[in-house]
Amino acid sequence: MAKKIAVVIREDPRQTHRPVEALRIALGLVAGTHDTTVVLLNEAVRLLSEDLDDVIDMEILEKYLPSIEQLEIPFIVQADADRSLIQPQFAVQYQTAEYIRHFLTDVDRTLVF
């Protein structure tokens, strides 16, 4: 039975490899039968930026981004995030912190990075 899953990424991809690994995991979940949404908090929005030079594991991320775009993986980003960092081709919803808290209580599973 398909689960509703949230992958929450809150770490800075310029400081650790974990955000890129989290996106790889989310991509794998979407390829299955799970209803997966990625929540990007704080500096994690940089994963969807055009400027990936400072991102750790940038080469790996660049391989996954076309699939993430093609599969239209849904992203939720805080409404007050710097929208200029995010490329427009990704399926991004801008939501309040309250909405995100409520969303996370409604999913079956949450993975936090």
pLDDT in tens, 62-94: 999 999 999 999 999 999 998 988 999 999 999
* 95 vs 76: CA distance, rounded Å: 7
Amino acid 33: pLDDT = 84
- Cβ–Cβ < 8 Å for 92, 48: yes
Q: Which domain holds residue 20?
A: 4-112
CATH of the domain at 29: 3.40.1260.10
CA nearest to 113, candidates 8, 31, 14, 43: 8
- Nearest-angstrom CA–CA distance, 26 and 32: 10
Counted domains in the chain: 1
67-71, long-range: CB < 8 A, 24+ apart: 67/27, 68/23, 68/26, 68/27, 71/27, 71/30, 71/31
Burial class (CB in 10 A: 0-12, 13-18, 19+), 36: buried
Over the stretch 15-67, which tens digit does the pLDDT of each residue have? 999 999 999 999 999 888 889 999 999 999 999 998 888 999 999 999 999 99
